[in-house]
Amino acid sequence: MKLLKDFLSLTRGLTFPLLSWAAWLWIEQNPQGSSVDALGVRSLEIQGGVIFALMMGCVFSVDRYADRVAERLGEPYGTLVLTFSATIIEVSLLLQVMVSGDHNPSLMRDTVYATLMVVLNGIVGVSLTAGGWRHIEQAFDLRGALAYFHIIAPLSLFVLVLPNFTGTDGKPTLEPSQEAFLGILCMVVYGVFLRLQMGRHRSHFGHVASTGWISPRKEAKKRALERNSALMWSLIGLGGALLPVLLLSEHLAKIFDHGMQVLKWPAGFGGLLITSLVLAPEGLGALRAALSNRMQRSINICLGSALATIAVTVPTVLIASALMGHSLVLGVKATDITLLSATLLVVLVTFVSGKANLLQGIVHLMIFVAYLFFMFKP
């Protein structure tokens, strides 16, 4: 009976993402001619909005199952599942744009920069502001926050600033050997971080609650089996919800390419669009955690997302671009360097205090608004 109940719950959870993909597949292949290439500009814009909305719903389904897995695994494993799910979506979108449309050499740079701005200023700012408004001041483990920042700060400068000063031709690019070094460096450092996060320094990222009561052996075994069963169904649901997102990303890539070429989006807007799609559920998760006075989880989600983008997305796209023979533009312009430097400085000042309050959140939001303004008014 419980097996049937779990199966029905899984089916209900996957209804929207699977139907979204099936409906779009039918619309694209119907005989009336509604394929992307056959539509006009206005229809393409509408189509892009529809695909974005469908994918946003699918991404929230992914987030729901990732949260269920997180509840079963506890910290820091739960946050890792959530961030890796978002990273899979981000990588799939970037690779689809690279494969399906015309080569956009600055897309990865724009996406990584947008992720840092959205996470470290937008999501962190909203979370600190909301949490500070409700709880006045919130505490978190300083060691965990600084562990993330110790890696985010240098790697973000290596990826986004250093290429401006390494190229001999004056372009913000890296040579193949330099790209290989950067990709290996990101993966090695992140691997060491994960090993410490899940091992000797696990307590820095959250503690497992204990009731102080030990159940009888038989009852404990029964509860362990129930948790394992729930975890299995949650993992199946997570995989099933991810699949439509990956399939729909191919269609969004075509619309994305149209927007860059025909609609003349501002530089960096494409990266912001991908980041908004990927990080919307994580942003809500961080906000919910801050409002419920779980600031440590909110920080883990925010900083974990930023770190995963730099340490996982960047090496993956570097490898893919090398295999396809594409060159990548990595260095950001002077205005963005200023905003990135201000962001890293403010993040350090915020997290070195070990306390979160309303004023800190407002400062982060100020930088985020400046990022949006200078994107449209460079």
Please state the three-class secondary structure of 149-212 as a single string: HHHHHHHHHHHHCHHHHCCCCCCCCCCHHHHHHHHHHHHHHHHHHHHHHCCCCHHHHCCCCCCC
Residue 234 bridge partners (DSSP): none
Q: Counting Cβ atoms within 10 Å, is residue 6 exposed (0-12), middle (13-18) or buried (19+)?
A: middle
| Residue 116: per-residue pLDDT | 95
Candidates 147, 180, 81, 71; CA nearest to 348 is 147
Q: Which CATH number fits domain 2-202+223-376: 3.20.20.140, 1.20.1420.30, 1.10.10.10, 3.50.50.60?
A: 1.20.1420.30
**Do 307 and 116 touch, CB atoms closer than 8 A?**
no
Decide which of 43 and 85 is more confident: 85
Segment 148-206, tens digit of pLDDT:
899 999 999 999 999 998 866 668 888 889 999 999 999 999 988 888 877 766 666 65
Would you list the domain boundaries of the chain? 2-202+223-376
What phi and psi, each to the nearest 5 degrees, are found at residue 250? -65, -40
CA distance 240 to 198: 27
Return all residues near 18 (Cβ < 8 A) that are at least 6 apart. 240, 244
In the predicted model, is pLDDT for residue 274 greater than 70? yes
Tokens of 101: 């449309």
Check whether 4 has a pLDDT greater than 50.
no
How far, CA to CA in Å, does 370 sit from each of 111, 117, 275, 367?
A: 17, 10, 17, 5
Contact 343, 121 (CB under 8 A): yes
Q: Which two tokens stand for residue 312?
A: 């996982």
Which residue type sits at 119?
V
Which is it for strands 355-357 and 137-139: parallel, antiparallel or unpaired?
antiparallel
**Residue 261: is its pLDDT beyond 80?**
no
* Percent of the chain's residues with pLDDT above 90: 25
CA angle 166, 172, 176 (to 5 degrees): 65
* Residues 145, 149: Cα–Cα separation, whole Å: 6
For residue 214, the SS3 value is coil
Q: Please state, as a whole number, how many other Cβ atoms lie within 10 Å of the Cβ of residue 354.
A: 13
* Helical (H) or strand (E) element with 240: helix 217-261
Give 126's pLDDT tier (boundaries 50, 70, 90).
Answer: very high
Burial of residue 264 (number of CB atoms within 10 Å: 0-12, 13-18, 19+): exposed
Burial 157-170 (b: 16+ CB within 10 A, else e): ebbbbbbbeebeee
Single pTM value for the model: 0.81
3-state secondary structure of 357: strand
pLDDT grade for 45, boundaries at 50, 70 and 90: low
Record the tokens describing residue 174, joined without a space.
């890296």
Cβ contact 302:119 at 8 Å = yes
CB contact burial 124-136 (16+ within 10 A = b; e otherwise)? bbbbbbbbbeebe
Q: Which residues have a Cβ under 8 Å from the Cβ of 157 and sit 6 or more positions away?
A: 340, 344
Rounded Cα gap, residues 199 and 54, in angstroms: 39
DSSP code of residue 76: T
* pLDDT over threshold 70, residue 46: no
pLDDT score, position 24: 56
Q: pLDDT tens-digit profile of 61-104?
A: 777 777 777 666 665 666 677 777 778 888 888 887 776 655 67
